[in-house]
């Protein structure tokens, strides 16, 4: 079945995206601690020159990223006529392939590691960013796999306890006007049991 075009949004400089995928069938995407580390390592290896990873959460059978495509002057130089969307798409392809090959070798698995083509939804508004990042951080609670505030494989605590020199953490905290509001908003969101935001439509001012 074709994937809705909303889940295959075009990549462009400066824009934000919710990226996600899951393991094939009832399999796990992460079986051991080193798998989590390796997954993040491979992401940064293939994509850190082109995107900023703002928020992340790795669940045993799937993952969520909130990324931003870097501005042209901040990323690795590309040819002026190059297709940015194609470049980013290929980088993600190489990232997934790299992880899949290692995972299959480690666990002697012959079947697909990922279930389908990954999805990426553009986020247009600051409120979209807040809603998605809170959904990502409380995802462990949604799946009943532990305390989301102390979950090892998410960026929640990493952002909360980062120092003022961490530009990404400062950007996220500023979306909530401070650490106290960051915590308060997450707690309220978790209690509400909100559903994931799949994407938004551009406003008339976008």
Give the span between the Cα atoms of 88 and 198, in whole angstroms: 21
Residue 2 lies in a domain: no
User: Quick one: 88 and 20 in the same domain?
Assistant: yes
Residues 100, 67: one domain? yes
**Domain-embedded: residue 1:** no
Residue range 107-130: mean pLDDT, rounded = 94
- The SS3 call for residue 56 is strand
Q: Considering the chain, what is the average pLDDT of its residues?
A: 91
- What's the rounded Cα separation, in Å, for the pair 170 and 10? 27
The last residue of one of the domains, among 65, 99, 124, is: 124
| 35 in any annotated domain | yes
Residue 161 and residue 101 in one domain: no
List the CATH number of the domain containing 95. Answer: 3.30.70.1290
Report pTM. Answer: 0.91
Is pLDDT of 200 > 70? no
Q: How many domains does the chain have?
A: 2
Residues 98 and 156 in one domain: no
Q: Which domain holds residue 143?
A: 126-195
- Whether residue 19 is found in the same domain as residue 118: yes
**Are 101 and 131 found together in one domain?**
no
Look at residue 81 in the predicted model and tell me its pLDDT: 82
Residue 17 has which token pair? 């995206």
pLDDT tier for residue 138 given thresholds of 50, 70 and 90: very high
Q: CA nearest 78: which of 70, 87, 90, 69? A: 87
86 and 180 both lie in a single domain: no
Residue 21 burial by Cβ neighbours in a 10 Å radius (0-12, 13-18, 19+): buried
Q: Of 91, 124, 157, which marks where a domain is finished?
A: 124
- pLDDT of 190: 65
Residues 107 and 167 in one domain: no
């Amino acid at each position: 079945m074709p994937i809705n075009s909303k889940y295959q949004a075009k990549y462009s400089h400066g824009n934000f995206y919710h990226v996600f995928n899951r393991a094939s069938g009832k399999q796990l995407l992460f079986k051991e601690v080193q798998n989590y580390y390796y997954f993040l390592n491979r992401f940064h290896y293939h994509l850190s020159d082109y995107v900023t990873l703002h928020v992340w959460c790795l669940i045993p059978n799937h993952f969520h990223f909130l990324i931003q495509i870097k501005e042209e002057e901040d990323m690795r130089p590309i040819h002026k006529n190059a297709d940015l969307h194609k470049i980013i798409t290929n980088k993600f392809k190489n990232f997934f392939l790299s992880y899949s090959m290692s995972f299959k070798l480690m666990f002697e698995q012959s079947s697909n590691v990922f279930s389908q083509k990954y999805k990426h939804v553009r986020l247009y508004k600051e409120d979209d960013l807040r809603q998605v990042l809170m959904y990502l951080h409380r995802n462990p609670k949604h799946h009943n796999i532990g305390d989301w505030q102390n979950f090892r494989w998410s960026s929640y605590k990493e952002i909360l306890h980062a120092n003022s020199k961490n530009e990404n953490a400062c950007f996220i905290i500023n979306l909530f006007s401070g650490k106290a509001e960051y915590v308060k908003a997450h707690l309220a969101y978790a209690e509400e049991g909100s559903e994931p935001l799949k994407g938004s439509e551009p406003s008339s001012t976008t």
